[in-house]
Amino acid sequence: MRRTRLHLLHMFSGIAIAVLAGIHMVALHLEEVLAFFGVDASEPTSWGAMIARSSQGIWVGIYIALLAFLLYHALYGLRGIILELTPSARKERVITWLFVVVGIAVFIWGSYVPISLLSS
């Protein structure tokens, strides 16, 4: 059931992206919605507000989770398209490992910034 688990994770990551990116969109770009719920978020896109968010563990967690789900969803989907258009057992192994390496490298690179901001 390995492929099924990976595919279910692909579906779940799509839902998680919608939720986490939704939180990001509301917090940064829909101040009026936040104001409706009584949350004062003046200039959430300013440098100061961004640094303030980066010092909170919850926001760092949200962004790292969003990055992980986005990378998995995008790379697994792209791998599927490539394997469908150029099917070959040998190529399949090469592409899978290439995508795993690229995914891990981008994840480390992308999560380094929020973690370093949190610890600073």
Binding interface with other proteins (CB under 8 A): 1-5, 7-8, 80, 83-85, 87, 92
- Tell me how far, at minimum, the Cβ of 67 lies from other proteins, in Å: 25
Residue with smaller CB distance to other proteins, 64 or 95 = 95
- Tell me how far, at minimum, the Cβ of 65 lies from other proteins, in Å: 21
In this structure, the number of other CB atoms found within 10 A of the CB of residue 27 comes to 19
- Tell me how far, at minimum, the Cβ of 73 lies from other proteins, in Å: 15
Over the Cα atoms of the chain, what is R_g? 18
Q: How far is CA 110 from the centre of its chain?
A: 9
